[in-house]
Amino acid sequence: MSERKVAVKKKKKWGKTYEYVPVVRSMTLDEEKMAEIEKELKNLKPTTPESFANKYGIKVSLAKLILKKYAEDGKIKVLSKGTRTELYSS
């Protein structure tokens, strides 16, 4: 995978300048990361797709797809479902 250059971005708002570094996350999974995820699914604590994405350095949309797939397979279960997010656990 090619590494992206991460630069400090500046945002101006009402005369003030804010500097921030955008978070760069992976859009795909490799075999090693997928094996690590499957191994840790057995001991998965209650988690949201956002925290799952932060833990593994992947995009939130990819984390949602992974968690939904494992919930349909019966490897994990949905604890709570809201309008915007879901809570998953093993």
Q: At 73, which CATH number? A: 1.10.10.10
Number of domains in the chain: 1
48: containing domain: 25-89
**Contact between residue 56 and residue 39 where contact means Cβ atoms under 8 Å apart:** no
Question: Does residue 8 form part of some domain?
Answer: no
Question: Does residue 14 form part of some domain?
Answer: no
Question: Does residue 6 form part of some domain?
Answer: no
- Decide if pLDDT at 55 tops 70: yes
Calculate the average pLDDT of the chain.
Answer: 83
- Run of H or E residues at 79: strand 77-81
The whole-number pLDDT of residue 48 equals 92
- Decide if pLDDT at 69 tops 90: yes
- Decide if pLDDT at 75 tops 70: yes
